Structure 1
Amino acid sequence: MSSKYFQELRVYRLAEQLADEIWKIVEQWNFFAKDTIGKQIVRSADSIGANIALCVGRGSYQDNRRFVKIARGSLNETQHWLRRAYTRKLLTDKQIDKLKLIIDDLAPQLNAYLKSIGNVPEA
């Protein structure tokens, strides 16, 4: 398996896209918003891709599945922070619509990736 394998996964590229979009948005916020909700949302969004990268190349399918489940949890946390940011008027409807398109693609991709790991027999 090449070292760039995880970077070629569609699910990983979607996670990167979501994290990068969130970063661009949070960069524009005032200090208080960045320091509180901004840090949390960036960390949770970055954690999605980081856990996908961690899962690829792990020794066992159980480890792989565990990290994909953590990535799903990070996606849920990101959605929580997006809701908080929107409620606090830090996000526009246009920004939410753009992020929602990525999330609506990413969530089923994570589930499909998790399922595909479960269908591979261990050696």
Structure 2
Amino acid sequence: MSNLFCWCMAYEPLEERRLYVRAELVADGIWELIAGWPEFTRDTVGKQLVRAADSIGANIAEGGGRFHPGEVRQFLYYARGSLCETKFFLRRAAKRMLINESRFLALDSELEQLAKEINATINYQKTRST
């Protein structure tokens, strides 16, 4: 894969930022989980869960391509919203017994850590000059 050099967030390639890497890992883990589901569950909860998880990283990436701190923050807010949506559908999947408890807890823990990193990055962006 080619590198996207989005230098606006801490002057390093986007693919090397822990926040972006964690978002990719979560999205890939969810994709692998959903791929084995029956058609009905994939087409309902599954697709929503994958879209929400993919949207976290997509918004981090789009924010990384922006220069103005306000724009960067806005896309991080979108990423945080997508993370909340992902958690909602993950809970639905667990309640409907589509995933086992240990897998749910592992993904939920990753999402919690990602949320903390998104919030820390938002707070950092608030310190940048406008």
TM-score, normalised relative to structure 2: 0.88
Identity level (%): 40
The alpha carbon displacement at 1:57 in A equals 2.3
Of residues 65, 72, 78, the one that matches 1:70 is 78
**Distance (Å, rounded) in 1 between the aligned partners of 2:25 and 2:76:** 17
The alpha carbon displacement at 1:59 in A equals 3.2
Mean Cα deviation higher: 30-39 or 97-106 = 97-106
Of residues 45, 48, 52, the one that matches 1:44 is 52
Are 1:84 and 2:92 matched, yes or no? yes
**Distance (Å, rounded) in 2 between the aligned partners of 1:95 and 1:21:** 10
- Equivalent pairs counted in the alignment come to 121
Structure 1 runs (4+) deviating above 4 angstroms are none
Q: Which runs of 5+ in 2 are unaligned?
A: 7-12
Partner of residue 101, structure 2: 93
**Distance (Å, rounded) in 1 between the aligned partners of 2:30 and 2:38:** 15
- SS in structure 2 of the partner of residue 100 of structure 1: helix
**Distance (Å, rounded) in 1 between the aligned partners of 2:5 and 2:82:** 24
**Distance (Å, rounded) in 2 between the aligned partners of 1:100 and 1:35:** 22
Which digits, 9 at most, give the CA deviation of each residue in 1:30-68, with x for residues without a partner?
A: 000000111000000000000000001213111111000
Q: Is the Cα contact below 8 Å between 2:87 and 2:108 reproduced in 1?
A: no
- SS in structure 1 of the partner of residue 37 of structure 2: coil
**Distance (Å, rounded) in 2 between the aligned partners of 1:99 and 1:57:** 27
TM-score, normalised relative to structure 1: 0.93
The alpha carbon displacement at 1:120 in A equals 1.0
Are 1:105 and 2:105 matched, yes or no? no
Partner of residue 3, structure 1: 5
CA RMSD of aligned residues (A): 1.2
- Aligned partner letter, 2:71: D
Bigger relative contact order, structure 1 or 2 (CA pairs below 8 A, ≥6 apart)? 1
- Aligned partner letter, 1:69: Y
